[in-house]
Amino acid sequence: MNCIPAGRQGADVALLVRRLRERLNADRLVCIGTSATMSSAASESERNRVVAEVASKLFGTRITEHEVIGETLERVTDANRDIDAIRHHLLAAVRCEQYAWPDYQAFQNDPLAIWVELTLGVTIPDDTSPIRRARPIALKEAGQRLASDAGCSPDEAQSARRAFCWPPTTSAPHRGAHPLPSSFTSSSAAPAWC
């Protein structure tokens, strides 16, 4: 199983797991479920507790928070640069007519890429906690934050965010240009952070 389903699909999976366990007399059947966005609780132990509760219900067996394996995230963009470091370059990046990069390093240093990652993609705690996924925000709020950070209008910011995150697929890329790196996307259809 590659995800923890919800609703009716979750109930169907839960019943199937129980029937399989009963049919095979498999009291020690090990079920593994994955989910990247199951809990947005602040602490890791609270997130693990929530995941363990849902998994216990789904798989019909007791799963503790200590049996939940978390994820390890790393920055895609330049880890030495934060929003303050790119803020004075952000307006020019917002006004860029086309988002294409000659190589991966150019993408990693792109001010808008750094802004998108640090605002929409990941949260870097002030303490020694690991990087974690950012809490989702509404697209309108994302545009307002970008407008504020870049010093431009909300419409200009929304337009830039859309162009950056969903580049046109019908036009051929510039010679030597690289499209949005796959690590910025959750599927080939839609960027994970945008």
Q: Let me know: does 76 contact 108? Beta carbons within 8 Å.
A: yes
Residue 8's pLDDT is 74
Residue 194's pLDDT is 53
d(CA 164, CA 21): 48
Residue 172's pLDDT is 39
Nearest to 115 by CA among 60, 53, 157, 68: 157
Q: Would you report the helix, strand and coil content of the chain in percent, each value rounded to 5?
A: 45, 5, 50
Question: How buried is 170 (Cβ within 10 angstroms: 0-12 exposed, 13-18 middle, 19+ buried)?
Answer: exposed
Residues of the chain with pLDDT under 50: 1-2, 170-178, 182-183, 185-192
CA gyration radius, the chain? 21
Q: Give the mean pLDDT of the chain.
A: 80
pTM summary value? 0.67
As given in the structure block, the two tokens for residue 142 are 């994302």
The tally of CA atoms less than 13 A away on the side-chain side of residue 81 is 20
